[in-house]
Amino acid sequence: MELILYKNTESKLPYEMAIIITDECINCGACEPECPNNAIYEGAEEWRYADGTDLEGQVVLPNGKEVDAYEIQIPISDDIYYIVPDKCTECKGFHEEPQCAAVCPVDCCVPDENHVESDEELLAKQAFMHYK
């Protein structure tokens, strides 16, 4: 079967991408409280899988990665707000569109071509993080 990847996040086609924040971010902070997965952090802020999710202790993520949900992780960016790809579901399961992109005043929340997942994978990730 041929695998076709799509760049349009509004597409109804099966492959979607996590969202990434570009260096055009002005650090306004508008996106962070809008994320239903707590996947957005301020630059230089440490993050955890457990933050804003139901994950506790040792877990195996849907992508097979084994992690300690409570373990403090190093920031992905020191300068600007960043999104943790493992926690971003493109808002699937909560909203019709990515909420960070909807509120960003400078449109710097864009599809991350390095993190392509299907609708099913994103929904499975959402259900995995919010099972209670």
Q: Give the number of other Cβ atoms within 10 Å of residue 7's Cβ.
A: 11
Pull the structure tokens for residue 28.
């306004």
| Residue 120 DSSP SS3 | helix
Q: What is the closest distance, in whole angstroms, from the C-beta atom of residue 114 to ligand SF4 in the complex?
A: 14
Question: Cβ neighbours of residue 75 under 8 Å, at least 6 residues apart?
Answer: 41, 43, 44, 45, 46, 47, 82
Please name the residue that has the structure tokens 């990515």.
98
Stretch that binds ligand SF4, among 52-60, 65-73, 84-92, 112-120 (CB under 6 A): 84-92
Contacting residue, 55, 59, 109, 129, with ligand SF4 by CB under 6 A: 109
Stretch that binds ligand SF4, among 45-53, 69-77, 104-112, 113-121 (CB under 6 A): 104-112
Terminal Cα-to-Cα distance of the chain (whole angstroms): 36
Q: What is the closest distance, in whole angstroms, from the C-beta atom of residue 92 to ligand SF4 in the complex?
A: 8
Contacting residue, 5, 28, 44, 127, with ligand SF4 by CB under 6 A: 28
Footprint on residues 46-75 left by ligand SF4 (CB under 6 A): none
Asked if 25 interacts with ligand SF4 (CB under 6 A), we say yes
* Burial of 5 (C-beta count, 10 Å sphere; 0-12/13-18/19+): exposed
> What are the residues binding ligand SF4 (CB under 6 A)?
19, 21, 25-31, 34-35, 37, 39-40, 81, 83, 88-91, 98-100, 103-104, 106, 108-109
